[in-house]
Amino acid sequence: MTTTTPDLLRLYAESDALRLAELVKTRQVSSSELVEAAISTIDSLNPKLNAVVIETFDLARQMATQASGGPFAGVPFLLKDIGSMWEGTRLTAGLAYRKDFVCGFDSEMVRRIKAAGFILLGRTNVPENGWCIATEPRLYGPTLNPWNTAVTPGGSSGGSAAAVASRMVPIAEGTDGGGSIRVPASCCGLVGLKPSRGRITYGPADVEIWFGSVFFFALTRTVRDTAAYLDATAGTLPGDPYTPPLPAKSWLDGIGDRPRRLRIGFTLTTPWGPEFAPEVARAVKETAVLLESLGHNVEEYDLTTDLGSAWLDYNRMNSVQTVLEFDELAKTTGRQVEESDLVPLNWSMLERGRSLSASEYAASVSAIRKANQRIQMELHPYDVFLTPTLTQLPRPVGYWDMNEADFDRYNAKWTDAAFMFAFNLSGLPAMSVPATWTEEQIPVGVQFVGRYGDEATILGLAAQVEEARPWLTRRPRVCANF
């Protein structure tokens, strides 16, 4: 197939990752052509959205000439600017303090991403050190939502979400320690899976992060891309502490099966904080009605686990873990982090972590493990549990101000994401899928939560919903033309 540049750009923008891989496999396009289409699209849209903050275009061009096999051979991809190590490239986590940090090795996740055939074009924007559900670091400036640039694209994977929604790339990396994949997926009308604890290895540098509550995965525009990406990247390394069960068939093959009649619970009650925004309540109700029409047994159920208290314990735990992270980073940077290096919120978080005694820290860890047990026991009767992703609509740019110096006051605002961290600390698989759009064309997502190790069921249900209520052809205001 011979394409002119406009034709290639249109084809690139309208295709998901698996379709692009098929085009490369059948030699209708080349990997190098896709890379140039991605670079052209990024050059055109990134000044409007500020999604990509580290560009590795020359490396991508080299990778494209060496592209071989893998299910995503030749497909452009963006890493997130936090967590994943890519040898020889910068990784800043949105911090001026580590703006010169260069990765010394590939993490296992990056090795698998490369083995799957992806071509890495750079890294996407994150809030400073990641702990925010918006993406507005001082180092790079805010990322904007391609659906409505006045509201946040979410965080901390906001740069990846904006890039995928606007068609810069069909898929990009996300990480999730408190909703950081699912929140931006909801804000940007995408599919965002947080897998089960242990499904993706932390190795080789880490055994676990936040006691297995941080997850590495991706944001996509289609359920099938999510399933295929899970097939390509899932797996443990020797010594990993968690080993979730494997499905009988691949996740991609599994979504082709019509789900059996599922018992699905749903809630219209927030665990704590303000009631759902009307548009959010409508999204949950409409999804529950749709699921019932698809043949599932749907019933209302409200969580009784005290998530408000668990949230406080979760923040005590992760503030101490953040101290350990910065102590380790100081060995690389050559100096301890100082107050001037961080926004007030992150400095407050460090100060909180340093102030806690060993017994207080141990008590917080024990409390979140108990909350894990309670959540799993409470939801076990359901094959899937349905919640909103966010209890409110995406907030205006600037709402999540990390210049807030009071750690407790800032985290009290996180009731918007009340249904997020519960499935980080419990390790249950959870994914956000597009549900509705407001009159202003702002996406609203809902969350499917499955039993531990059962990504297959929520992926199959999401695929059924995607077929019944397609979202792929919806286009944000800032988007590649097609």
Q: Which residues belong to the active site?
A: 80, 156, 180
Which tokens sit at 101? 């940090």
Q: What angle do CA 71, 74, 78 make, to 5 degrees?
A: 95
Secondary structure in 3-state letters for the chain: CCCCHHHHHHHHHHCCHHHHHHHHHCCCCCHHHHHHHHHHHHHHHHHHHCCEEEECHHHHHHHHHCCCCCCCCCCEEEEECCCCCCCCCECCCCCHHHCCCECCCCCHHHHHHHHCCCEEEEEECCCHHHCCCCCCCCCCCCCCCCCCCCECCCCCCHHHHHHHHCCCCCEEEEEECCCCCHHHHHHHCCEEEECCCCCECCCCCCCCCCCCCCEEEEEECCHHHHHHHHHHHCECCCCCCCCCCCCCCCHHHHCCCCCCCCEEEECCCCCCCCCCCHHHHHHHHHHHHHHHHCCCEEEECCCCCCHHHHHHHHHHHHHHHHHHHHHHHHHHHCCCCCHHHCCHHHHHHHHHHHHCCHHHHHHHHHHHHHHHHHHHHHHCCCCEEEEECCCCCCCECCCCCCCCCCHHHHHHHHHHHCCCCHHHHCCCCEEEEEEEECCCCCEEEEEEEECCCCHHHHHHHHHHHHHHCCCCCCCCCCCCCC
Q: Please state, in angstroms and rounded to a whole number, the distance separating the CA atoms of residues 134 and 139.
A: 14
Secondary structure in 3-state letters for 314-376: HHHHHHHHHHHHHHHHHHHHCCCCCHHHCCHHHHHHHHHHHHCCHHHHHHHHHHHHHHHHHHH
Name the phi and psi angles at 217, rounded to 5: -160, -130
Q: Please state, in angstroms and rounded to a whole number, the distance separating the CA atoms of residues 422 and 310.
A: 8
Cβ count near 324 (within 10 Å): 10
Helix axes 223-233, 17-25, angle to 10 degrees: 70
Task: Name which of 175, 33, 190 is nearest 91 in CA terms.
Answer: 175
Name the amino acid, one letter, at 262: L
